[in-house]
Chains A and B, each alone.
Chain A
């Protein structure tokens, strides 16, 4: 029995099975379904962004995966375990970036990171040294000048940097970030993006994050999930999503002081023809593919009108019946 168990565990580790597997996830508060059958997977080393309008259930999804909340129905697996009942050892592999408020107000960032890091010491391996060196981490998140002052006296931005540091102190294999850059100034945002790239590239960290910043999603994510109305309505790279919504690109140019706009599925061919026809007369050429923002707005609107239509239909059927 033990041998079989061992073999299956080894097989599980060896196989490239997904780090996160979610199927049929439902969450009901009272009579409203916040999550209504969510399915997705995240593979090792992937950076996945979860997008969606406010109230779509992004935070609920992340909290279920963090093990802080139990779903009403459905199955969530992280490293093959149910997060709600996973062991404390499981915790050592998972990093969570929380929004700090007034916790540990008297502590200094250095002391807090040093303390929280100690919990990871028993889980250090030669390949993955745990925890991070505190000074190294403080430098990485840009808190060197504030390492020894009371957390109470940190600015909002500095606090968020500390939150990120706390989330990764244990050198997690999987990191959850719920709106990590809300309230960041551009410099802080860029620093944070560098950290995410570093974690993904150098530490092989799998990352699931939520954001409202579509530019950020495009910059960071290998793959984007859009959650609307309690379901995943889109899943793919930014390019894939754009193509799914509209295959057309907009070509804009000027000729003889007049501006022209033309939508075409094959912009390259169109531009080639344009030049062969008019040559040097063409100016101000601009080819614009659908941005993630266009895609996102279109998808969410599509979904919302779909939902309205569905409601109308069922109301009509109700009236007819």
Chain B
């Protein structure tokens, strides 16, 4: 039995167990339902609005639905592991993992599985009611679903390491807002999720195209929308090749950097640090 492979398997089982615990938790469902209500509510209120560009006009929900799915991948896979790590560093979960042989390997494997699986209920609560609320969401049939799948997987690989790095670097959970939440919201606002990116200044378009959120949205639109809708995009095409390249570069860079940063952070964990966080938290309550 190779101890490393064994630890990976144990970690995958850990992630699956935590995912199941989440599915049984009313809190988690509350979060999914809230997210679905906000998203679908926004789209429903804008059902008669259109987006225009490149001599083309289409309904806002048709444009925004795939884009939002793309943004939710980035959001879930950056903020999710970020919060988990920041929280579990403080509450001693990480320390427990550190205290068992190859426990950190298992812990990270568990996090990857847990947050990747989280995409499934997220998509389900939005897509399934969305299909009934709006006509012709998916216009490319099986090929479209296949595109959605690879964009999802690639996007996951591109964003998850960012979440792990964020969770390792953020000083404490309270700072997750400034370090994680607001930057991602800002990035989403400029990444052409709710309206075509060309409406913004040129330099903002450049900034947006450096980050994965824009490309996730673009990839998702290419999956759901007919080819004619590409007229709304920069250059009038889906730029599929470039989407693959940009997301892959993020994924590779992330997977090279994340383990090092994570290891450095894990090295600092000790019982007295958890104790100090606990002390601080009780002060907080008072």
Using a CB–CB distance below 8 Å, which chain A residues touch chain B?
Answer: 59-60, 63, 66, 68-69, 88-89, 91-92, 96, 98-104, 106-107, 111, 115-116, 118-123, 166, 170, 178
Give chain B's interface secondary structure class.
helix
**Closest Cβ of chain B: how far from A113's Cβ, in Å?**
11
Q: Which of B87-95, B134-142, B216-224, B241-249 contacts A (4 or more CB under 8 A)?
A: B87-95
Are A92 and B92 within 8 A (Cβ)?
A: no
Are A104 and B93 within 8 A (Cβ)?
A: yes
Minimum CB distance partner of B25 in chain A: A106
Q: How far is the CA of A101 from the CA of B106 in the complex (A)?
A: 21
Are A122 and B3 within 8 A (Cβ)?
A: yes
Are A68 and B271 within 8 A (Cβ)?
A: yes
Are B98 and A119 within 8 A (Cβ)?
A: no
**Closest Cβ of chain B: how far from A97's Cβ, in Å?**
9
CB contact under 8 A between A120 and B271, given known A102-B91, A103-B91, A115-B10: no
Are A96 and B99 within 8 A (Cβ)?
A: yes
Are A106 and B278 within 8 A (Cβ)?
A: no
Partner of A99, one of B10, B13, B274: B274
Are B25 and A98 within 8 A (Cβ)?
A: no
Chain A residue numbers with a CB within 8 Å of B2 are: 122
Are B92 and A99 within 8 A (Cβ)?
A: yes
Minimum CB distance partner of B103 in chain A: A119
Partner of A121, one of B6, B95, B98, B272: B6
Minimum CB distance partner of A166 in chain B: B96
Interface members, chain B 231-282 (any A CB < 8 Å): 269-272, 274-275, 278
Chain B residue numbers with a CB within 8 Å of A103 are: 88, 91-93, 96
CB contact under 8 A between A92 and B101, given known A59-B271, A98-B95, A121-B6: yes
CB contact under 8 A between A104 and B14, given known A63-B270, A68-B269: no
**Closest Cβ of chain A: how far from B84's Cβ, in Å?**
12
Chain A residue numbers with a CB within 8 Å of B271 are: 59, 63, 66, 68, 98-99, 178
Chain B residue numbers with a CB within 8 Å of A101 are: 91-92, 274, 278
Chain A residue numbers with a CB within 8 Å of B269 are: 68
Minimum CB distance partner of B7 in chain A: A119
Q: List 25 A-B contacts (CB under 8 A).
A: A63-B270, A63-B272, A66-B271, A68-B98, A68-B269, A68-B271, A69-B272, A89-B3, A89-B101, A91-B103, A96-B99, A98-B92, A99-B274, A102-B91, A103-B92, A106-B25, A107-B17, A116-B96, A119-B103, A119-B106, A120-B100, A122-B1, A122-B6, A123-B101, A166-B96
Nearest 5 CB-CB pairings of A with B: A68-B270, A103-B93, A91-B101, A92-B101, A122-B3
Are A68 and B95 within 8 A (Cβ)?
A: yes
Are A99 and B101 within 8 A (Cβ)?
A: no
Q: How far is the CA of A98 from the CA of B278 in the complex (A)?
A: 13
Q: How far is the CA of A178 from the CA of B272 in the complex (A)?
A: 11
Partner of B21, one of A59, A99, A107: A107
Minimum CB distance partner of B106 in chain A: A119
CB contact under 8 A between A91 and B100, given known A103-B88, A115-B17: yes
